[in-house]
Amino acid sequence: MKNVSILLAGLLLLSAGCRQKSGGNSATNEATTAAAGDSLTGSISFSGAFALYPMVVKWSEEFRKLHPQVRIDISGGGAGKGMTDALAKVVDLGMVSREIYDVEKENGAFGFAVTKDAVVATINRENPLYDELCRQGLRRETASALWNNEYATYGDLLGTDSSIPIHVYTRSDACGAAETWAAWFGKRQEQLEGTAVYSDPGVAAAIQKDKVGIGYNNIAYIYDMRTRKPYEGMAVLPIDTDENGQIDADELFYDTTPDLIAAIGDGRYPSPPARNLYLVSNGMPQNEVVVEFIRFALTEGQKYAIETGYIPLPQSTIDSELAKLNP
C-alpha cells in the first residue's frame, strides 16, 4: 500500500542527495558541463517546515545544475525549528510555513515569501460516512468545535444519530500547518485539542490507518505528485466556504492538485488556510550563495512550483520580494 511514510523516505533520500552531490556521478558531470565557467562556490543550509521541504528539495536540485560547486543541506523539523535555527544562525535559512511574528522580526527574522500552498482537512477514504461528510463539508464553527474536543461522534458533527466515534488528530511539533489551520477559525496552535502526532507525514499516516480519523495536512503530504490525486486511503474533507451547510458545485475542487491549486490561486479556497511560505534568515543575507538561491527561487524556480504541488507567487509579490535583495 502506498503511503506517506514512503513519500517521506523519498524526500529524505532527495535531501541526502543534495548533500552528497559533490562530483563523480553522471548527473553532476552533466550539470557541470551545462554550467561551465560558473564560479559560485560555497554552501547553504536549511531546516524547518515540512510544508516547504519538497519545494526546497526541488529548487536545490535545479540550483545545483546551474551551480554544481555549491553544497546544500536540508532538514525538516517543523516551522518552529526552522525559525529557531535561523535566528540562532544554526542554518542559513529557516523554512517557515506561517506568517512571521513581530517579536521574531524584532529578534532579526528577515523573511522572503517564496511560494504558496494550503492546509486541508483530511479523512480516511474508507470512512463509513464518507459520502455524507463530503456532501456537508466543514464549516469554521464545526472545525473550531472539532479541535476543541466538543464532538465525540460523527453524529455530533453531522447532526445525526450516528454513534460512530470521531478521532481528531493535531500536530505535536510547533508548525505552520497547525498555526495556519487554527487561524482559519480564530485560534492558535496551542489551543488545538486532539491526539498529537509529530510531523505532516505522521498525521497523514495516522489518517491512513484510522477509518474514523480526521486531521489536517499540507497539500504535498496528501496528494501524490505523480498521479496528482490523493494517496491511497486518504481524502480531503471539503470546506463549506459559503457556510450554507452543503458543498456546492463551485466548492468541489479537491480531486486533483491542479484543481485545488487553481482554487487557491483564484481565491475560491480561503486564506487562511491557504498561505505564503517563507525562507527566513537572521538579518539580510550576506552570503552570496544564499542570496543567489533566494533570487533563483523567486525567478527561475517559480516554474517548478505547480509540478511540485505549490502555487507560484503573483508577479507583484515576486517583485517586492526581489527588491529586498537590493535595498
Query: CA nearest 194: which of 219, 175, 224, 216?
Result: 216
Sorted by where each starts, the structural domains of the chain and their CATH numbers stand as: 1-327 (3.40.190.290)
The predicted structure's pLDDT at residue 35:
57
Asked if 237 and 122 count as a contact pair (C-beta separation under 8 A), the reply is yes
Question: Are the C-beta atoms of 199 and 78 separated by less than 8 Å?
Answer: yes
Neighbours of 31 (CB within 10 A): 22
Grid cell 554552501 — which residue? Answer: 43
Q: Return the SS3 of 159.
A: coil
φ/ψ (deg, to 5) at 311:
-115, 125
Query: Given this model, what pLDDT does residue 30 score?
Result: 44
Question: What residues have CB less than 8 Å from 209, skipping those under 6 apart?
Answer: none
* Contact residues for 193 (Cβ-Cβ < 8 A; gap 6+): 147, 148, 149, 168, 170
- At residue 225, the pLDDT reads 86
* pLDDT at residue 2 in the model: 40
Cα of 170 vs its chain's centroid, Å: 15
Beta strand 167-171 pairing with 274-282: unpaired
Please name the helix (run of DSSP H) or strand (run of DSSP E) that holds residue 131, with its range, or none.
helix 130-136
Grouped pLDDT means (10 residues each) for the chain, 327 residues: 40 38 40 60 96 96 97 94 97 96 96 96 98 97 97 96 98 93 96 96 96 96 93 96 96 95 93 96 96 98 93 95 91
* Beta strands at 167-171 and 109-124: parallel, antiparallel or unpaired: unpaired
Could you tell me if 308 and 58 are in contact, meaning their C-beta atoms sit under 8 angstroms apart? yes
For residue 118, give the C-alpha cell: 494550503
The pTM assigned to this predicted structure is 0.80
Q: What is the DSSP letter of 220?
A: G
Torsion of the alpha carbons at 266, 298, 98 and 256, rounded to the nearest 10: 40
**What pLDDT score was predicted for residue 17?**
37
Name the grid cell of 282.
537572521
**In angstroms, rounded to a whole number, what is the distance separating the alpha carbons of residues 294 and 112?**
8
CB 120 within 8 A of CB 236: yes
Q: What is the predicted pLDDT for the residue at 264?
A: 93
Distance (Å, whole) CA 303 – CA 310? 10
Q: Are 123 and 208 in contact (CB under 8 A)?
A: no
Nearest to 49, CA basis, from 171, 231, 144, 188:
171
